Amino acid sequence: MSLSLIRTVRTALADPHTIPGRLAAAHRALEVLETAVHDLAFLDPDPPLLFWTTVHSDAVRARAALAGARSLPSPAGRPPATVALGAEEPATVIAALLELAEALVLHLVEAANATRHDGDKACCLHAALITHELTTSLRNASHEHR
């Protein structure tokens, strides 16, 4: 994964989708966030490892919350996100992830409003709340890199 994949996944959130398509795009975005944050823990010595572990945990929890939505198509058969961030500046990656996370929160709230299933709505809103926590953490990391 590179910055271009992060940006591609963010752009995909803006495309109009059916509810299953919206949930699949959100799940993919959370997967990319999770994988990129995992790599940043090793690439970025500025915030301590515990900080990145907490942010990674938020991404995992948000994806798990969304996985409970019955309208989410199975990601089986789709290759997982792979990361190759070594050549990128951590500040640039953090900024791109922050943009992705902010767009994802809005996307999840919109998906919650669009669905007719209460269970899907609850899963989307729960994932949005956790992703908002992640966004706050990324914003703090972004300020540290200025």
Within 10 Å of residue 142's Cβ, how many Cβ atoms? 14
Mean pLDDT score, 7-36: 91
Q: Is the dihedral of CA 20, 118, 63, 111 positive or negative?
A: positive
Helices (H) and strands (E) in the chain, counts: 5, 0
- Residue whose entry in the numeric block shows the structure tokens 């902010």: 102
Q: What is the pLDDT of residue 78?
A: 63
| Containing structural domain, residue 130 | 3-144
Which CATH number belongs to the domain containing residue 54 in this structure? 1.20.1260
Report residue 76 as tokens: 């089986």
Total domains in the chain come to: 1
**What pLDDT score does 81 carry?**
61
pLDDT digits (tens, 9 = 90+) for 40-94: 887 777 777 888 889 999 999 999 999 999 999 987 556 666 555 666 788 888 9
